[in-house]
Amino acid sequence: MRRIDAILICLGCFTFGGVVYLGFKAFGIPDLDAGIWSQVVLVLGLIGWVGSYGIRAITHNMTYDRQIKDHKEAFLRKRLESMSEAEVEALMAAIPNSSQSSSQSSSQASKLKLDSQANNRETPQI
């Protein structure tokens, strides 16, 4: 965020508070009460904003977290593409999974290789 963006956000909040105050006065609420209620509206808005930020931080749904996840997926996809078929099969065999047989793991390795090649066309180069 640039400095001008922060200044504009602050001016927008200040203006919004003034508009809410004038709105309360227009409905016939006395000056002091209109000021108090406009403060209540602004504080509730601030609490809501901070709450939404906290929820996004806890659930890792922030821009930085998504960028890290996308980067890791792209890195692993690129790494899988650079592996030979034998290396992919060895990797799949090393993954502990008692429900799969060796034939299933080799077919799954081939499928992963094909999926990664298809997804490479959609993934931007890093």
pLDDT in tens, the chain (126 residues): 789 999 999 999 999 999 999 999 999 999 999 999 999 999 999 999 999 999 988 988 888 888 999 999 999 899 888 888 888 888 888 888 655 544 455 565 566 555 655 555 555 555
Q: Return the pLDDT at 97.
A: 67
Give the structural domain span for 32: 3-58
Residue 76 included in any domain: yes
Residue 96 included in any domain: yes
CB 92 within 8 A of CB 109: yes
* CA 61 – CA 21 distance, rounded (Å): 35
* CA 24 – CA 18 distance, rounded (Å): 10
Q: Looking at the structure, tell me whether residues 10 and 39 fall in a common domain.
A: yes
Residue 64 included in any domain: no
- Region of 28 (left: φ > 0; alpha: ψ -120 to 50; beta: rest) is left
Residue 102 included in any domain: yes
CB 37 within 8 A of CB 29: yes
Residue 63 included in any domain: no
Rounded alpha-carbon distances, angstroms, from residue 115 to 38, 74, 84, 112: 56, 13, 15, 5
- Tell which residue, 4, 10, 88, has the closest CA to residue 42: 10
Q: Return the pLDDT at 109.
A: 55
Q: Looking at the structure, tell me whether residues 17 and 54 fall in a common domain.
A: yes
- Per the structure, the count of domains in the chain is 2
